[in-house]
């Protein structure tokens, strides 16, 4: 199964449509028709509303009946490329397998599937070995749990509710294969390997994106391809590592793009962005927003440098990253500061929690300029459902749950969706998505230029070699315009703010 070169939506079925059939109806509605050729449906497994919004599945092979069935997933796949999460690093502490281990300890047949401190360090661990373990949260990745008649330190990279799997054990391999078989049978086009950077624990190392991790990714990718499923790797890490990952997988996220776009539009300085556009892997999924926060580790220095090694600088300096983070907080009126880091539970050290629209101060022109840069950057673009509706921070939901990332996880009613679809900024964004999905210029390379604060990205087709499209953005003012055509035709420049009407790029993607 091959993915179409089309814009994809990222959405929770329960928060955008109510359930899987509701999400499908939205995507097939006249309002969204033609804008999205695929959809990444965030975890819909049992339960979809656990401790980590579905990323702590009790049963990863079952669709939560409150959202639908595998037949509903299969129906959605008739009209859209479907992307689903394959959570390879952990399962819920409430899963039947782990509950059996809690009751029976080593006598449980599932015991080898779960990692403990002793299973990784059978001879014990030194302080140096423990402090070298890389983790996205403060502290060590262990939780004391009684397994059978013994108190053990269970490996929990993220939260005590998410118990890490030994992906190299026979039981762990069989478990992951069963999930892969389930999604392949539902005609899923692409699986996203969630948190795969932490999946393999290697004593004496950081246990993050080690050679053993790369070997596991290659092995799993081969399994998926044999079933007709492509693989997207989800790793927040040093930017050069993303380039390396891209060489061995079908697709890798471009997580450096969001902070670099914000930095460029905050400062009018596009040099770091242009540098990255020249180095990044082209087999990438481009995002500005996801269900998580806006990553900053992806543009910072390598945090896994071994003691005594030379430091490896990032795409932005520490001072520039500090200015970026403070810029987000200022533009959100402090809401992102209340949702980020130690200010909220379920914290991540490397992300700022905010909608992308609010991170740009709800400036429609700059927001559409940012989206245009995303859509013109080579790769497969994904637009988060809150971003698709130019949504603001949900401070009420944050106040109710105390979970920082909930600020960017609004639960939309049908009435709210209908109202937002009438907003000019949303109509313009959907027009840009239709243009990107339909125009034949976007299967070719990009020619990037920077003149002062003026950024240009020109695309030219491969299947239709004389098809072209060019984006011109003044990073200082946020003004953006596009032109397109075929052959030597000069085209007509159109401001991105004017898209979304009957004369939008999406309606004239053939250059007419």
Residue pLDDT tens, the chain, 512 long: 578 999 999 999 999 999 999 999 999 999 999 999 999 999 999 999 888 888 889 999 999 999 999 999 999 999 999 999 999 999 999 999 999 999 999 999 999 999 999 999 999 999 999 999 988 778 899 999 999 999 999 999 999 999 999 999 999 999 999 999 999 999 999 999 998 999 999 999 999 989 999 899 999 999 999 999 999 998 888 899 888 888 878 899 999 999 999 999 999 999 999 999 999 999 999 999 999 989 888 999 987 777 778 889 999 999 999 999 999 999 999 999 999 876 544 344 578 999 999 999 999 999 999 999 999 999 999 999 999 999 999 999 999 999 899 999 999 999 999 999 999 999 999 999 999 999 999 999 999 999 999 999 999 999 999 999 999 999 999 999 999 988 776 677 888 877 765 445 544 444 44
Q: Which residues, at least 6 apart from 451, have a Cβ–Cβ distance to it below 8 Å?
A: none
Give dist(CA 52, CA 158) in Å, integer.
Answer: 10
Residue at 100 is within a domain: no
**Among 235, 291, 232, CA closest to 12:** 291
Burial class (CB in 10 A: 0-12, 13-18, 19+), 316: buried
Residue 234 appears among annotated catalytic residues:
yes
Give dist(CA 473, CA 480) in Å, integer.
Answer: 4
* Beta partners for residue 163, in sequence order: 91
Q: Are residues 471 and 337 in the same domain?
A: no
Residue at 415 is within a domain: yes
**Among 485, 474, 480, 512, CA closest to 499:** 480
19 labeled binding residue: no
Vertex 168: Cα angle to 165 and 174 (nearest 5): 75
Structural domain of residue 455, as residue ranges?
A: 442-508
Q: Are residues 298 and 432 in the same domain?
A: yes
Q: Are residues 384 and 448 in the same domain?
A: no
405 labeled binding residue: yes
CATH number at residue 342: 3.20.20.80
234 labeled binding residue: yes
DSSP state of 40: E
Give dist(CA 430, CA 505) in Å, integer.
Answer: 10
CA atoms within 13 A on the CB side of 148: 10
Residue of 56, 72, 166, 234 marked catalytic: 234
Residue of 56, 194, 364, 494 marked catalytic: 194
**Could you tell me the CA-to-CA distances from 235 to 91, 156, 157 in Å, in that order?**
18, 18, 14
Q: How many CB atoms lie within 10 A of CB 378?
A: 21
Query: Among the three residues 385, 418, 439, which one is the final residue of a domain in this structure?
Result: 439
193 labeled binding residue: yes
DSSP state of 177: H
pTM: 0.93
265 labeled binding residue: no
φ/ψ of residue 210, rounded to 5: -85, 170
194 labeled binding residue: yes
Q: Are residues 381 and 502 in the same domain?
A: no
Give dist(CA 27, CA 413) in Å, integer.
Answer: 15
385 labeled binding residue: no
Query: Among the three residues 439, 458, 483, which one is the final residue of a domain in this structure?
Result: 439
Residue 194 appears among annotated catalytic residues:
yes
357 labeled binding residue: no
Q: Are residues 330 and 296 in the same domain?
A: yes
Q: Are residues 283 and 424 in the same domain?
A: yes
């Amino acid at each position: 199964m091959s993915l179409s070169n089309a814009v994809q939506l990222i959405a929770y079925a329960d928060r955008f449509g109510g359930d899987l059939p509701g999400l499908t109806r939205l995507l097939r509605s006249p309002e969204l028709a033609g804008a999205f050729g695929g959809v990444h449906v965030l975890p819909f497994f049992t339960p979809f509303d656990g401790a980590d919004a579905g990323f702590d599945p009790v049963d990863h092979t079952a669709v939560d009946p409150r959202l639908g069935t595998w037949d509903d997933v299969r129906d959605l796949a008739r009209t859209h490329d479907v992307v689903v999460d394959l959570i390879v690093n952990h399962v819920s502490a409430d899963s039947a397998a782990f509950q059996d281990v809690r009751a029976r300890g080593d006598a449980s047949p599932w015991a080898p599937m779960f990692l403990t401190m002793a299973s990784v360090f059978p001879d014990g661990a030194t302080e140096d070995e423990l402090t070298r373990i890389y983790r996205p949260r403060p502290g060590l990745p262990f939780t004391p749990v009684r397994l059978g008649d013994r108190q053990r330190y269970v490996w929990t990279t993220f939260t005590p509710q998410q118990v890490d799997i030994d992906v190299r054990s026979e039981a762990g391999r069989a478990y992951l294969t069963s999930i892969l078989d389930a999604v392949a049978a539902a005609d899923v086009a692409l699986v996203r390997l969630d948190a795969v950077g932490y999946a393999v624990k290697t004593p004496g190392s950081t246990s993050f994106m080690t050679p053993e991790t790369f070997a596991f990714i290659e092995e799993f990718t081969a399994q998926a391809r044999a079933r007709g499923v492509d693989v997207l790797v989800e790793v927040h890490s040093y930017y050069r590592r993303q380039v390396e990952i891209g060489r061995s997988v079908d697709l890798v996220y471009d997580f450096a793009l969001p902070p670099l776009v914000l930095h460029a539009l905050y400062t009018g300085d596009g040099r770091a962005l242009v540098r990255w556009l020249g180095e990044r892997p082209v087999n990438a999924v481009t995002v500005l927003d996801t269900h998580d926060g806006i990553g900053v580790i992806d543009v910072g220095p390598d945090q896994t440098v071994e003691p005594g090694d030379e430091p490896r600088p990032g795409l932005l300096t520490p001072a520039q990253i500090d200015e970026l983070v403070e810029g987000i907080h200022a533009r959100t009126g402090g809401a992102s500061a209340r949702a980020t880091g130690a200010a909220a539970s379920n914290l991540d050290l490397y992300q700022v929690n905010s909608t992308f629209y609010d991170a740009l101060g709800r400036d429609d022109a700059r927001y559409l300029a940012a989206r245009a840069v995303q859509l013109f950057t080579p790769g497969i673009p994904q637009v988060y459902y809150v971003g698709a509706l130019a949504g603001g921070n949900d401070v009420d939901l944050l106040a109710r749950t105390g979970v920082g990332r909930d600020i960017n996880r609004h639960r939309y009613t049908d009435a709210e969706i209908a109202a937002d679809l009438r907003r000019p900024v949303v109509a313009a964004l959907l027009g840009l998505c239709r243009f990107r999905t339909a125009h034949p210029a976007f299967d070719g390379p990009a020619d990037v230029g920077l003149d002062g604060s003026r950024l240009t990205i020109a695309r030219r087709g491969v299947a239709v070699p004389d098809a072209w499209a060019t984006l011109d953005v003044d990073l200082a003012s946020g003004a953006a315009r596009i032109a397109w055509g075929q052959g030597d035709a000069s085209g007509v420049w159109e401001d991105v703010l004017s898209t979304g009407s009957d004369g939008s790029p999406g309606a004239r993607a053939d250059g007419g």
